[in-house]
Amino acid sequence: MAEGSRPVLIRIRAAIPALRPSERRIAELFVGDPEVAANLSIAEVADRCGTSTTSVVRFYQRMGYAHYKDLRIDLAREVTREQLARTNLPEVSGDIDRHDSLEGIVSKVATNETLSIADTARTLDMDALAGAVALVLAARRIDSFGVGASALVSLDLQQKLSRIGRTAINWHDSHSAWTSAATLDDTCVAIAVSHTGATVDTVEFLAIARASGAATIAITNFRESPLAATADVTLTTAARETKFRSGALGSRIAQLMVVDCLFTGVAQASYDESMAALRNTYTVVHDRVVRKRT
């Protein structure tokens, strides 16, 4: 999906890490309360963000708009879409607050993660996904790596691929990951997971793998990131993060959704072999669990 065709709020969220401080404040205003922001003039936006009207102009041009009114129209449309998307979700909004009840926390987390999945499904580049599936199908070996919450996603991918007979290895330690990446060749694929796309250890893993001749795949929330620049194929999430647990809530669930799509695409493309492998692995585990119980 071309950048200009992505919904405006998703584009703004994805651009925030690369923005100047003044432009970042403008972006956070639009993302934090788009319904209000859509009704503000350029001067009112500048005043609320403590910046100049020139910065507001520079911001909307950077978002791909020639005129401010077009940004406001798209914002209004996105507000309406999100209101419809929230119809069957709990009536909550905003970040997790110190005064929230447990019921409020559950509602906010559920809403955040549901919308992260929906936005990612809506904007995931199908050509990029097809390219990633083709690379994994052709690979002799697949190495994956991530740090923190992304490490859990990387491990999930490795376990899924192993269950359908793919030679997949997940690395928990960065030095081990780098060492392994240096041994890859053009018959291998390296997959790196990072919400920000700026985690140094993860970027280095993919850079080493690429220099060794391996095909590289990045799973990240930010298309214009160092990790994406090092990848042959980038699968972009559209996660909604909270200040309470930045990088670990919406991002993880969106990454897992992308991993499930990648895995399912690979399994479907090798349907007979994958189904046989899944049956065999299920039987092995099931039989041993039954024996232990009896």
pLDDT one-digit tens code per residue, 101-129:
888 777 777 777 888 888 899 889 999 99
The CATH number of whichever domain residue 50 belongs to comes to: 1.10.10.10
> How does residue 132 score in pLDDT terms, banded at 50, 70 and 90?
very high
Is the pLDDT at 173 greater than 60? The verdict is: yes
Say what the pTM is: 0.78
Please state, for a pLDDT cut of 90, what percent of the chain lies above it. 61
Is the pLDDT at 244 greater than 80? The verdict is: no
Cα(110)–Cα(92) distance, integer angstroms: 10
Residues near 150 by beta carbon (within 8 Å), at least 6 away in sequence = 193, 194, 195, 199, 202, 251, 252, 255
Residue at 97 is within a domain? no
Largest CA distance in the chain: 74
pLDDT value of residue 220: 95
Write out 44-65 in H/E/C secondary structure. Answer: HHHHHHCCCHHHHHHHHHHCCC
Amino acid 127 reads D
Name the DSSP letter for residue 196: S
pLDDT value of residue 14: 84
Mean pLDDT value across the chain: 88
Closest CA to 205 of 196, 214, 148, 253: 214
From 55, 85, 115, give the residue that closes a domain: 85
**Cα separation values, 65 from 56, 71, 72, 135, Å:** 12, 6, 10, 35
pLDDT value of residue 118: 85
As beta bridge partners, residue 278 has none
Mean pLDDT (whole number) for 7-35: 89
Asked if residue 131 and residue 62 are part of one domain, the reply reads no
Residue at 131 is within a domain? yes
Asked if residue 130 and residue 77 are part of one domain, the reply reads no
From 66, 85, 104, give the residue that closes a domain: 85
pLDDT in tens, 63-108: 999 999 999 999 998 888 777 766 665 555 556 666 778 887 777 7
From 85, 100, 134, give the residue that closes a domain: 85
Cα(95)–Cα(247) distance, integer angstroms: 14
What's the domain count of the chain? 2
Asked if residue 214 and residue 138 are part of one domain, the reply reads yes
Asked if residue 128 and residue 79 are part of one domain, the reply reads no
> How does residue 247 score in pLDDT terms, banded at 50, 70 and 90?
very low
pLDDT in tens, 141-164: 999 999 988 999 999 999 999 999
Beta-strand relationship, 233-236 and 215-220: parallel
pLDDT value of residue 248: 54
Cα(230)–Cα(194) distance, integer angstroms: 12
Mean pLDDT (whole number) for 201-218: 98
Domain that holds residue 186: 123-280
User: For 194-270, where are the alpha helices, taking DSSP H only?
Assistant: 200-211, 226-229, 250-269
Residue at 33 is within a domain? yes
The CATH number of whichever domain residue 260 belongs to comes to: 3.40.50.10490
- Given a contact cutoff of 8 angstroms between Cβ atoms, the answer to whether 135 and 217 are in contact is yes
